[in-house]
Structure 1
Amino acid sequence: MSKSFFALTLLAGAAMTGCMQSTAKPVSTATANTSDTPRNIIMVVADGMGPAYTTAYRNYQDDPATEAVESVVFDDILIGSASTYPHQQSGYVTDSAAAATALASGTKTYNGAIGVDAAKQPLESVMMRARQQGKRTGLAVTSQIVHATPASYIAHDESRKNYNAIADDFYDNRVNGQHIANVMLGGGTRYFERDDRDVLAQFIDDGYAYADSYNRLAAIPQGSDVIGLFADVALPPVLDDKRKNRLAYMTEHAIKHLENDNGFFLLVEASQIDWAGHSNDIASAMAEMHDLAQTMEMLREYVEAHPDTLVILTADHSTGGLTVGARGDYRWSPEFLSAMQASVGTIASNMGDEAAPGAYVAGQLGFTLSDDEVARFDELAGEPDVNKREAQLKQFLDEKTNTGWTTSGHTGVDVEVFAFGAGSQALAGQHDNTDIAAVIFEHLKGSSMQTPVSDNKGTPSGDDDACDFKEDWRCH
């Protein structure tokens, strides 16, 4: 069982902070341009998307029939860059929890921390500040909604591994007596519908509409409070999802339910770019980047129609050490990724059941294989370990595309910052990731919170196996 390390304090009708800190660096009026203050703020985090990913995506989208490499949406909205290092006790390379806490609160913390500082004290997030000011707030992510990035905007926990306790925070933590998020879309049913506590039922009892599929989400009346959980843990990789624009779809519906006269704050996360990087899976990396690009295109159209909206996109860190070109060969061949029918993991899982595995793999990859390559996969299908099959398929695609990777973890490089809409010029130039929160706080001018939210965690409990999935890197 977890030990409580924060006192439980739920004071309805009061604002939050007392012991809650807001230590984001102030931004000058000249920098923030308060005459251009947005009414709506959409914060997009592309988890794991270092600069090599946007370069690779541009090449992936290139029309080979033209001499020039055409620009993509990311080129049109690039405005700066940001450093990502965590609190000094964790060194120079951040994990998603520390980075998300910095982006959400403007405070550096240690790797693994969710919404707390280096002394494990709770921090005010920009989402909490927006809620305190009467804005509607929400999130739309492709991971489980209790994963590091979304959790850092709502919860307070010394360990990102405490998924059940973080789910409890989603319900228990309040601003002015109200739940912090009006709309929550992503995966994670197992953490909300549990034997020890049915958090999902509590939200439904409080008037939240519930959707367990995209179609049911579409049927919810506009302006509702919504909890949409579309998978037991995370959503499927976009290559395996029936909806190939899943992030844009969730984002569009989140906005539909958040729009109101006071404005809104929305967190969007392209969560699985990071997981593709950890897995050194170039096919999923480009597919997840395309899912994000479609979302950014949709948001550009939204800002054209709603110019009082600010959209910010950045990464929490880079993952995998992706290189465009490898092994001394000055070539990168993304055309081998353009017709993928399923994720490498799904292909590896299914090929052992096929009568003609090589032909099946060719059909799923979407390009013609040589006789030797077909024979290679016919033989690989006899390998009983699906993980080894998957590793061989990834290696094959790396060879065909000439993709390189330097690590299965994170790297400490600076990441790009993209922004457009009202107040976006405040993000031009080189920043630290904490400056992004400072800019948002500046746009969310208002009194600081006064009452601490509830927290009840210590060491991981009830969730000891939370990171024991096949993809252990989902916990990094």
Structure 2
Amino acid sequence: MAMAGNSQSISQSHPKNIIIMIGDGMGPAYTTAYRYYKENPNTEEMEQTVFDRLLVGMASTYPAKVSGLITDSAASATALSTGFKTYNGAVSVDVEKRPLQTLLQKAKSLGLSTGIAVSSQVNHATPAAFLTHNESRQNYNEIAESYINTDADVILGGGQRYFSTELIEKFTAKGYQHINEFSQLDSVTSPKVLGLFADVQLPWVIDDKEAKSLSKLTQKSLELLSQNPNGFVLLVEGSLIDWAGHSNDIATAMAEVDEFAYTIEIVEQFVRQQKDTLMLVTADHNTGGLSVGANGKYEWKPEVLHKVKASPDNIAASAIAADDWHSIVSDQLGFTPSAQEFSNLTNARMQGNKALAIALRKLIDLYSNTGWTSVGHTGLDVQVFAAGPGAKLFSGHQDNTEIAHKIFSLLPTRAFTNPSQ
């Protein structure tokens, strides 16, 4: 629970709205790398990022003891949404597989509006743990079907393949507008909305830098949820930072962090204007064991990453489809590999798209001097960023379950008599 010493702060600063933003897998090395990635080489000063500006504390992320010390996204999201530790793979159920009340469920019961805006499928581990319960994050269809009972006002992200025609008809029968193109966002002027914009994940930012997908979904969520005079709780997730980390893909990861940072700035502006909104930003865990510098060399070269024009996945697909693939690879990477490096790429190309994409990522690591220790998660503490009423509660070290307890303590103490639907 929130510490007793915080009770005065809580009573003085109850936010009307709460926005929880999770950079999936975004451990401290990612935000450090991002600072150097964004640095203007034409100035003497090292520019401050939104992460530097909003940093208030740190959080531990370990799961229930049955799962050891390294968490997965489901267990960590359960901790952040319910305040309880659980086993890896659990979606807001305890170690005995009993349902746990989530922040969004509690908020809805009090008469607040609720929503999620994510760059993964909407029924992925993190958003699922804020909306529903399941003994396994892998039960994607069950999780999608359970969303019909959440009464969430805004559900935006990917995941079309998990929502059958019959399920979508159930949503529309309950008053949801269903959209599947970003161009349709402007036509949605009031809740409720189910927006599914990709088969699974939204496109990599690096492959469509002008799309601003997550920030657009977040902006629309704020617009819709703000219509409830009682307030709202919104979850925003930069989901694909983690996916890039699992692939040890530094160029793609930095582009994902960049879009997440831009989305944070949009929310920060909302907080400044409204003055009644708390924004809480953190990561659920660290992914990949990213190191800023590697191989015994005291250097890291983010300028290499700025020249990469597409994700290694897309570069590999283009290279396999073309005869003149050497020029395509050089153009898309922003540098020309050596004869030996092209020989290695040729061998990888013969093995298919996946092998070539891996080889390209390793080549980008070599040229930028980026290191990785894992293709999984690691046990590092993660950073906590906050602004708005109640932000000081999150200063210093805390466990991820304490973050949830503190947010619960900032919710209204009783339900509104005029719950807005």
TM-score, length basis structure 1: 0.84
Task: State the partner residue of 2:26.
Answer: 49
Q: Do the aligned partners of residues 371 and 117 (structure 1) sit closer, same or farther apart at CA in structure 2, a change above 3 Å counting?
A: closer
Residue from 276, 293, 296 that aligns with 1:328 = 296
Higher helix share: 2
Task: State the partner residue of 1:184.
Answer: 155
Q: Which amino acid aligns with 2:164?
A: E
Residue from 220, 230, 236 that aligns with 1:262 = 230
Report the Cα distance in structure 2 between the residues aligned to 1:265 and 1:165, rounded to whole angstroms: 24
Q: Secondary structure at the match of 2:321?
A: coil
Does residue 444 (structure 1) correspond to residue 411 (structure 2)? The answer is: yes
Q: Which amino acid aligns with 1:396?
A: L
Task: State the partner residue of 1:164.
Answer: 141
Q: Secondary structure at the match of 2:57?
A: strand
Task: State the partner residue of 2:390.
Answer: 423
Q: Which whole-Å deviations, capped at 9, do the CAs of 1:4-36 have from their partners, x for residues lacking one?
A: xxxxxxxxxxxxxxxxxxxxx244353642221
Give how far 1:384 is off. Answer: 4.0
Residue from 65, 83, 100 that aligns with 2:77 = 100
Structure 2 unaligned regions, length at least 5 = 416-421
Report the Cα distance in structure 2 between the residues aligned to 1:61 and 1:267, rounded to whole angstroms: 26
Residue from 269, 273, 282 that aligns with 1:301 = 269
Contact 1:361/1:377, CA 8 A, preserved across alignment:
no
Q: Secondary structure at the match of 1:110?
A: coil
Q: Which amino acid aligns with 1:62?
A: E
Q: Which whole-Å deviations, capped at 9, do the CAs of 1:79-121 have from their partners, x for residues lacking one?
A: 0000000011111110000000000000000100001011111
Report the Cα distance in structure 1 between the residues aligned to 2:186 and 2:257, rounded to whole angstroms: 24
Report the Cα distance in structure 2 between the residues aligned to 1:41 and 1:386, rounded to whole angstroms: 42
Q: Which amino acid aligns with 2:293?
A: G
Report the Cα distance in structure 2 between the residues aligned to 1:94 and 1:381, rounded to whole angstroms: 33
Does residue 226 (structure 1) correspond to residue 193 (structure 2)? The answer is: yes
Report the Cα distance in structure 1 between the residues aligned to 2:375 and 2:308, rounded to whole angstroms: 23
Q: Which whole-Å deviations, capped at 9, do the CAs of 1:300-339 have from their partners, x for residues lacking one?
A: 1111111100000000000000000111011100101113
Q: Which whole-Å deviations, capped at 9, do the CAs of 1:238-291 have from their partners, x for residues lacking one?
A: 122464421111100011111121111100000011111111000111010001
Q: Do the aligned partners of residues 45 and 424 (structure 1) sit closer, same or farther apart at CA in structure 2, a change above 3 Å counting?
A: same
Q: Which amino acid aligns with 1:188?
A: G
Task: State the partner residue of 2:418.
Answer: none
Residue from 60, 68, 80 that aligns with 2:45 = 68
Does residue 38 (structure 1) correspond to residue 6 (structure 2)? The answer is: no
Does residue 89 (structure 1) correspond to residue 66 (structure 2)? The answer is: yes
Task: State the partner residue of 1:398.
Answer: 365
Q: Which moved more, 1:392-401 or 1:198-207?
A: 198-207
Q: Secondary structure at the match of 1:239?
A: helix
Residue from 108, 112, 128 that aligns with 1:151 = 128
Q: Which amino acid aligns with 1:235?
A: L
Q: Which amino acid aligns with 1:334?
A: P
Give how far 1:202 is off. Answer: 0.6
Task: State the partner residue of 2:353.
Answer: 386
Task: State the partner residue of 1:18.
Answer: none
Report the Cα distance in structure 2 between the residues aligned to 1:286 and 1:252, rounded to whole angstroms: 22
Report the Cα distance in structure 2 between the residues aligned to 1:254 and 1:442, rounded to whole angstroms: 24
Q: Which amino acid aligns with 2:405?
A: A
Percent of pairs identical after alignment?
A: 46
Q: Which whole-Å deviations, capped at 9, do the CAs of 1:348-374 have from their partners, x for residues lacking one?
A: 111122232121112222x24256378
Residue from 355, 360, 364 that aligns with 2:332 = 364
Give how far 1:297 is off. Answer: 1.1
Does residue 413 (structure 1) correspond to residue 393 (structure 2)? The answer is: no
Q: Do the aligned partners of residues 167 and 375 (structure 1) sit closer, same or farther apart at CA in structure 2, a change above 3 Å counting?
A: closer
Pairs aligned (count): 413
Q: Do the aligned partners of residues 32 and 118 (structure 1) sit closer, same or farther apart at CA in structure 2, a change above 3 Å counting?
A: farther
Contact 2:50/2:261, CA 8 A, preserved across alignment:
yes
Q: Do the aligned partners of residues 374 and 358 (structure 1) sit closer, same or farther apart at CA in structure 2, a change above 3 Å counting?
A: farther
Report the Cα distance in structure 2 between the residues aligned to 1:153 and 1:341, rounded to whole angstroms: 35
Report the Cα distance in structure 2 between the residues aligned to 1:110 and 1:125, rounded to whole angstroms: 16
Structure 1 vs Structure 2 CA RMSD: 1.7
Give how far 1:381 is off. Answer: 7.6
Q: Secondary structure at the match of 1:352?
A: helix
Q: Do the aligned partners of residues 380 and 71 (structure 1) sit closer, same or farther apart at CA in structure 2, a change above 3 Å counting?
A: farther
Q: Which whole-Å deviations, capped at 9, do the CAs of 1:386-440 have from their partners, x for residues lacking one?
A: 1111111001000000000001100011000000011111111100001111111
Contact 1:358/1:377, CA 8 A, preserved across alignment:
no
Residue from 223, 248, 270 that aligns with 1:280 = 248
Report the Cα distance in structure 1 between the residues aligned to 2:145 and 2:131, rounded to whole angstroms: 11
Report the Cα distance in structure 1 between the residues aligned to 2:117 and 2:349, rounded to whole angstroms: 40
Q: Secondary structure at the match of 1:115?
A: coil
TM-score, length basis structure 2: 0.94
Contact 2:349/2:355, CA 8 A, preserved across alignment:
no
Report the Cα distance in structure 2 between the residues aligned to 1:45 and 1:264, rounded to whole angstroms: 17
